[in-house]
């Protein structure tokens, strides 16, 4: 039994085609809790309508008999309706942190669905996937010079997690070179420094943070509603560094995992100069 009405599910999980590829939409559905407490039988799934805004995928969502989680219905349908080549648009170049993280997400989801690697066992936990050589090569080859320089400091190995690589990209910031060359900026990696401008994106929804983000004590910042939903429905850790975190009004119901620090969160207003 789902805690959400069918209308609430539609509002929460319907794809915006012009803004999201199917692979990115699928990941964001998982991120928003499609795998948590939302179970639908065939009749209920059929009433959802065009969630994916893709005829083949939407038809497949309700065609599997029995009661299944919304997440499994979505993932199975995407995999059965399309091939990897149809879904994954190879990028010759990504030009920003947001584009880089989105491309890395698409590469990872494609590998989970179609790659026949050990990542196939992470269907229910895409953030646990490994950065395979195939993912690494495609991602790094599309990096613009500023980010390629920073990525050159990393050594790939088979145990590298995609989430660690995303964290690395989020913590890279363009830094003007002296003098500028070829229209590109150099990149520095922020080590323990997370102060950002209001134009920086929220790592959860990828939209601009604006003037009053919610800052975890580990230093990472998100929209208050994004991090509230994340902590209450998806995980009890920071989406970026994975340290244990709670909102100010929350009391943790279980101890922090071994080796993790327990962080609270606070609303932080940026200074205006």
Q: Is the pLDDT of residue 15 over 80?
A: yes
Helix (H) or strand (E) holding 185: none
Distance CA 145, CA 186 (A): 8
Nearest to 112 by CA among 95, 99, 131: 131
Q: Does residue 259 form part of some domain?
A: yes
Helix (H) or strand (E) holding 4: none
Which pair of tokens denotes residue 91? 């990028």
Q: Does residue 105 form part of some domain?
A: yes
What mean pLDDT comes out for the span 19-29?
A: 94
Reported pTM: 0.69
Burial of 196 per CB tally in 10 Å (0-12, 13-18, 19+): middle
pLDDT (0 to 100) of residue 172: 77
Q: Is the pLDDT of residue 252 over 90?
A: no
Helices 6-13 & 70-81, crossing angle to 10 degrees?
50
Q: Does residue 174 form part of some domain?
A: yes
Nearest to 170 by CA among 101, 94, 239: 101
Q: Is the pLDDT of residue 163 over 70?
A: yes
Which range of 16-30, 176-190, 212-226 scores highest in mean pLDDT? It is: 16-30
Pair (184, 104) in one structural domain? yes
Q: Token pair 């948590």 is at which residue?
A: 36
Please state the domain count of the chain: 3
What mean pLDDT comes out for the span 103-119?
A: 95
* CA torsion angle 98 103 105 107 (round to 10): -170
Q: Calculate the average pLDDT of the chain.
A: 80
Q: Is the pLDDT of residue 9 over 60?
A: yes
pLDDT in tens, 70-87: 999 999 999 999 999 999
pLDDT in tens, 184-239: 344 444 444 444 445 567 877 777 777 678 888 777 888 877 887 777 765 677 87
Pair (182, 206) in one structural domain? no
Q: Picking from 27-36, 101-110, 255-264, which range would have the lowest pLDDT averaged per residue?
A: 255-264
Secondary structure tally for the chain: helices H, strands E: 11, 9
Pair (161, 176) in one structural domain? yes
Q: What are phi and psi of 152, to 5 degrees?
A: -65, -20
Q: Tell which wins on pLDDT, 19 or 23.
A: 23
3-state secondary structure (DSSP) of residue 208: strand
pLDDT (0 to 100) of residue 257: 36
Give the model's confidence band at 124: pLDDT under 50 very low, under 70 low, under 90 confident, else very high: very high
- Angstrom CA distances, 199 to 143, 209, 266, stand at 21, 6, 20
Domain containing 217 equals 194-273
Beta carbons within 10 angstroms of residue 234's beta carbon? 17
Domain limit, last residue, from 145, 166, 189: 189
Domain limit, last residue, from 82, 108, 132: 82
Pair (119, 153) in one structural domain? yes
Sheet hosting strand 221-222, strand order edge to edge: 221-222, 214-216, 265-267
Q: Is the pLDDT of residue 271 over 60?
A: no
Distance CA 37, CA 233 (A): 10
Pair (184, 198) in one structural domain? no
Residues 95 and 38: beta-carbon distance below 8 Å: no
Q: Does residue 89 form part of some domain?
A: no
Distance CA 224, CA 230 (A): 10
Q: Is the pLDDT of residue 65 over 60?
A: yes
pLDDT in tens, 143-159: 998 899 899 988 899 99
Distance CA 268, CA 220 (A): 11
3-state secondary structure (DSSP) of residue 218: coil
Which pair of tokens denotes residue 109? 């989801």
């Amino acid at each position: 039994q789902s805690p959400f009405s069918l209308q609430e599910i539609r509002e929460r999980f319907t794809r915006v085609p012009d803004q999201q590829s199917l692979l990115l939409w699928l990941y964001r559905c998982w991120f928003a809790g499609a795998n948590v407490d939302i179970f639908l039988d065939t009749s209920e799934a059929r009433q959802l309508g065009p969630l994916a805004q893709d005829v083949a995928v939407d038809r497949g969502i309700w065609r599997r008999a029995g009661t299944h989680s919304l997440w499994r219905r979505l993932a199975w349908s995407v995999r059965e309706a399309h091939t990897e080549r149809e879904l994954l648009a190879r990028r010759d170049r990504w030009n920003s942190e947001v584009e880089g993280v989105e491309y890395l997400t698409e590469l990872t989801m494609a590998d989970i669905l179609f790659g026949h690697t050990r990542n196939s066992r992470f269907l229910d936990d895409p953030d646990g996937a490994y950065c395979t050589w195939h993912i690494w090569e495609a991602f790094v080859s599309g990096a613009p010079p500023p980010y390629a320089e920073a990525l050159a400091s990393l050594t790939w190995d088979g145990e590298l997690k995609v989430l660690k690589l995303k964290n690395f990209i989020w913590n890279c910031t363009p830094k003007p070179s002296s003098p500028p060359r070829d229209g590109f900026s150099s990149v520095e990696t922020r080590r323990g420094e997370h102060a950002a401008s209001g134009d920086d994106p929220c790592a959860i929804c990828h939209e601009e943070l604006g003037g009053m983000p919610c800052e975890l004590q580990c230093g990472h910042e998100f929209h208050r509603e994004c991090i509230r939903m994340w902590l209450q429905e998806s995980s009890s850790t920071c989406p970026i560094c994975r340290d244990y975190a709670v909102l100010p009004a929350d009391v943790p119901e279980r101890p922090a995992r071994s080796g993790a620090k327990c962080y609270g969160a606070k609303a932080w207003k940026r200074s205006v100069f």
